C-alpha cells in the first residue's frame, strides 16, 4: 500500500484516524501498532514475519546490551546484533547482485536465488541499528516494552520510505505526545502538499522519463529534457513522500525530522548533502564516518573514510553498480571540493555556484537512473551533442511544449520562492483565506489523477 492510493487515502487512513482518536490514551499506541502491521501486510504479507523477527532480535539484544553495559559482553552483543541485522539486509537485497558479480569475475555459474526485496527493509534496518548503537553508547535508554519498540520500528508513516527516524528522536513521544487541532491541521496541510508533489509533479515527469527511455530519437533538447525531468522526478517523488510521512506523524502527535531543505538552491555539493535526504546523510555521518575517525585523522585516512561512506551510501540505494558509481562519484567530488575547490566556490557569484551544483547533480541522477554503463554514457554525452546529434527534432519539441508548464512549476517549487512570498506580511490574510481552497483543490486533482491513471510508482521502494 502506498500513501498515494485510493485505498490508503479514503479507506485505511480515515478508519485508523477515527479509531485512534476514539480510543483512550493508553490504547493509542496499540492502535498504531496494529495499523502499522496491517499497512505492511497489505504490501508484503509474508515479510511481516521478517519484520517481526527483526524487532524481536533488536529487543532481545537491546536488553542484553543494557544489562551488560560497561562490560565486554555489551560490545559482543552489539556486534552480534549488527551481524544479524546487516546479514538479513544483505541476503534479501544483495544476494543475487553478489552471485551475478561472482559469476562474472570468477567465470562460475552459480544459480540465482529467488528472493523478493522486502519493502522498507533498508529504512527499518537502519532505525533498529541506530537504536542498538545509541543504547550501547548510553545515548538512549533500553526500551523494556517490546510493543513500544515494535511501534517505533513499524510506525507506518515512516516505515517504507523514511525519513530514518532515530529512537532518540521519538523516545519521549512514544510515551508522551501532544494532540492538538493545530498540529493535526498542520499535518493535513503537509500531507496534501506532499501528495501533490508526488502525484502532480513526480508522477507526471516520470511518464516523460519513461517516454524518453523508450524513444529512439536523439537530440540535444531531448537529452536535456530527460536530465531535468529525472532531477525533478526524483526530488519530488522522495521529498513528497517525506512530506506525507511528516504530515501523518503530526496527525498522530509525532514530530519527525525534516528530510529535505531545498537542496537545489545549494551553492556546493557539501551544502547539497546537508539539504538532501538529511536523515540518511546524518545517519552515515554519526554511525560510520565519525566512528572511522571522520576528519580528525591523517589526510589519507580521511579520504578513505569519505570513500567508504559514499561507497556504502551508493550501495544502500540499490543492488546495482550504477548506485555504487553514483555514491563514489559524490565521494570524489566532495574530496575535490574540500581539498581544492571550496576557496574558489566561495568567491563565485551565487548564480554560477548554483549552476555548478545543478550540473553536478544532474549528471549524478543520470548515473542514478541508468541501467547500463552504455546508457549512462550516452545520456551524459547527449547533453553536449556527442555523435553529432541534431539540436532538436519534432518529438523533442512536442514533449518540450507538452511538459513545459509542469517543469516550470517543478523548478519554482524546488526553491523557497513561493514560501517566501506566502510568508510576507502583506499576503498573510489572503493566504489564510485561500489556503484551504488551494489544499482542497490539490487533494481533488491528485485524487482524479490517481483514479484516472495507473502510473503511480515510488522510486525508493527499490531501496
Residue 213 included in any domain: yes
338 part of a folded domain = no
228/163 same-domain check = no
Q: What is the pLDDT of residue 418?
A: 87
Identify the domain containing residue 376 by its residue range: 183-267+348-462
The 10 Å Cβ neighbour count of residue 340 is 10
Same domain for 78 and 188, yes or no, is no
- Give mean pLDDT, residues 3-16: 93
Q: Is 252 helix (H, G, I), strand (E, B) or coil?
A: coil
Mean pLDDT of 125-142: 95
Mean pLDDT to the nearest integer, 227-235: 96
User: Using one digit for the tens of pLDDT, what is the confidence trace for 72-87?
Assistant: 999 999 999 999 999 9
286 pLDDT higher than 70: yes
Whether 167 and 222 map to the same domain: the answer is no
Average pLDDT over residues 360-376: 93
Q: Does residue 218 lie in a domain region?
A: yes
Q: Are residues 62 and 76 in the same domain?
A: yes
Tens of pLDDT, residues 164-220: 999 999 989 988 888 999 999 999 999 999 999 999 999 999 999 999 999 888 899
Same-domain pairing of 370 and 444: yes
Residue 166: inside a domain:
yes
Query: Tell me, what's the pLDDT at 461?
Result: 52
Q: How many domains does the chain have?
A: 2
Among residues 129, 157, 177, which one ends one of the domains? 177
Using the predicted structure, report yes or no on whether residue 462 has a pLDDT greater than 70. Answer: no
What is the band of 322 on the pLDDT scale with cuts at 50, 70, 90?
very high
Question: Is the residue at 1 inside a domain?
Answer: no
Does one domain contain both 137 and 194?
no
Is 313 among the domain residues? no
Instruction: Kindly indicate the confidence band of residue 463, based on its pLDDT and cuts at 50, 70 and 90.
Output: low
Whether residue 137 sits in one domain with residue 122: yes
Please give the full DSSP string across 10-51, using - where no structure is assigned. Answer: IIIHHHHHHHHHHS-HHHHHHHHHHHHHHHHHHH-TTHHHHH
> Is the C-alpha dihedral spanning 445, 448, 454, 459 positive or negative?
positive
Residues 160 and 195 in one domain: no
**Does residue 280 fall inside a structural domain?**
no
Q: Global pTM?
A: 0.92
Which sign does the torsion angle of CA 42, 45, 50, 56 carry? positive
The answer to whether the CB of 31 falls within 8 A of the CB of 20 is: yes
Evaluate the CA torsion angle 209, 210, 214, 215 in order and state its sign: negative
Catalytic residue from among 108, 179, 277, 317: 317
Domain boundary among 126, 161, 177: 177
Whether 367 and 441 map to the same domain: the answer is yes
Average pLDDT over residues 86-108: 88
What does the pLDDT look like over 413-456, one tens digit per residue? 999 998 888 888 777 788 888 889 999 999 999 999 998 875 55
In this predicted structure, the answer to whether residue 227 has a pLDDT above a threshold of 60 is yes
Residues 192, 156 within the same domain: no
Q: In the prediction, which pLDDT does 460 show?
A: 54
Percent of the chain with pLDDT over 90: 74
CA distance 423 to 403: 29
User: pLDDT band at residue 4, thresholds of 50, 70 and 90?
Assistant: confident
- Whether 354 sits among the annotated catalytic residues: the reply is no
Residue 307 lies in a domain: no
Instruction: Based on the fold, state whether residues 362 and 391 are members of the same structural domain.
Output: yes
Are residue 390 and residue 416 in the same domain, yes or no? yes
Confidence grade of residue 10 (pLDDT, cut at 50, 70, 90): very high
Amino acid at each position: 500500500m502506498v500513501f498515494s492510493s485510493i485505498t490508503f487515502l479514503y479507506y485505511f487512513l480515515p478508519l485508523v484516524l477515527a479509531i485512534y482518536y476514539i480510543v483512550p490514551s493508553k490504547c493509542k499506541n496499540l492502535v498504531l501498532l496494529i495499523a502499522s502491521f496491517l499497512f505492511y501486510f497489505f504490501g508484503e504479507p509474508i515479510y511481516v514475519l521478517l519484520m517481526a523477527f527483526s524487532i524481536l532480535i533488536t529487543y532481545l539484544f537491546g536488553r542484553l546490551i543494557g544489562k551488560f553495559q560497561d562490560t565486554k559482553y555489551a560490545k559482543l552483543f552489539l556486534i552480534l546484533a549488527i551481524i544479524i541485522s546487516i546479514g538479513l539486509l544483505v541476503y534479501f537485497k544483495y544476494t543475487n547482485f553478489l552471485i551475478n558479480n561472482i559469476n562474472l569475475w570468477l567465470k562460475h555459474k552459480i544459480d540465482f536465488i529467488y528472493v523478493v526485496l522486502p519493502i522498507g527493509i533498508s529504512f527499518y534496518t537502519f532505525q533498529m541499528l541506530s537504536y542498538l548503537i545509541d543504547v550501547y553508547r548510553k545515548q538512549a535508554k533500553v526500551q523494556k516494552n517490546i510493543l513500544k519498540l515494535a511501534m517505533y520500528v513499524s510506525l507506518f508513516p515512516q516505515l517504507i520510505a523514511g525519513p530514518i527516524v532515530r529512537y532518540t528522536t521519538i523516545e519521549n513521544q512514544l510515551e508522551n505526545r501532544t494532540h492538538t487541532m493545530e498540529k493535526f491541521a498542520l499535518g493535513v496541510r503537509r500531507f496534501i502538499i506532499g501528495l501533490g508533489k508526488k502525484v502532480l509533479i513526480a508522477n507526471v515527469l516520470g511518464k516523460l522519463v519513461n517516454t524518453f527511455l523508450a524513444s529512439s530519437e536523439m537530440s540535444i533538447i531531448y537529452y536535456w529534457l530527460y536530465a531535468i525531468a529525472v532531477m525533478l522526478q526524483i526530488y519530488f517523488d522522495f521529498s513528497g513522500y517525506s512530506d506525507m510521512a511528516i504530515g501523518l506523524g503530526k496527525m498522530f502527535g509525532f514530530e519527525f525530522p525534516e528530510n529535505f531543505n531545498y537542496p537545489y538552491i545549494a551553492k556546493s555539493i557539501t551544502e547539497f548533502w546537508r539539504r538532501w535526504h538529511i536523515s540518511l546523510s546524518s545517519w552515515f555521518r554519526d554511525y560510520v564516518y565519525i566512528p572511522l575517525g571522520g576528519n580528525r585523522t591523517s589526510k589519507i585516512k580521511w579520504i578513505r573514510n569519505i570513500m567508504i561512506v559514499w561507497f556504502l551510501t551508493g550501495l544502500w540505494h540499490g543492488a546495482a553498480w550504477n548506485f555504487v558509481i553514483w555514491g563514489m562519484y559524490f565521494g570524489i567530488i566532495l574530496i575535490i571540493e574540500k581539498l581544492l575547490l571550496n576557496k574558489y566556490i566561495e568567491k563565485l557569484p551565487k548564480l554560477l555556484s548554483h549552476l555548478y551544483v545543478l550540473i553536478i547533480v544532474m549528471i549524478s541522477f543520470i548515473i542514478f537512473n541508468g541501467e547500463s554503463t552504455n546508457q549512462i554514457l550516452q545520456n551524459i554525452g547527449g547533453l553536449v551533442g556527442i555523435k553529432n546529434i541534431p539540436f532538436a527534432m519534432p518529438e523533442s519539441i512536442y514533449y518540450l511544449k507538452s511538459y513545459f508548464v509542469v517543469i516550470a512549476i517543478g523548478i519554482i517549487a524546488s526553491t523557497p520562492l513561493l514560501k517566501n512570498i506566502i510568508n510576507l506580511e502583506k499576503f498573510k490574510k489572503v493566504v489564510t483565506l485561500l489556503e484551504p481552497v488551494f489544499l482542497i483543490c490539490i487533494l481533488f486533482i491528485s485524487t482524479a489523477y490517481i483514479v484516472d491513471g495507473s502510473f503511480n510508482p515510488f522510486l525508493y521502494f527499490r531501496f
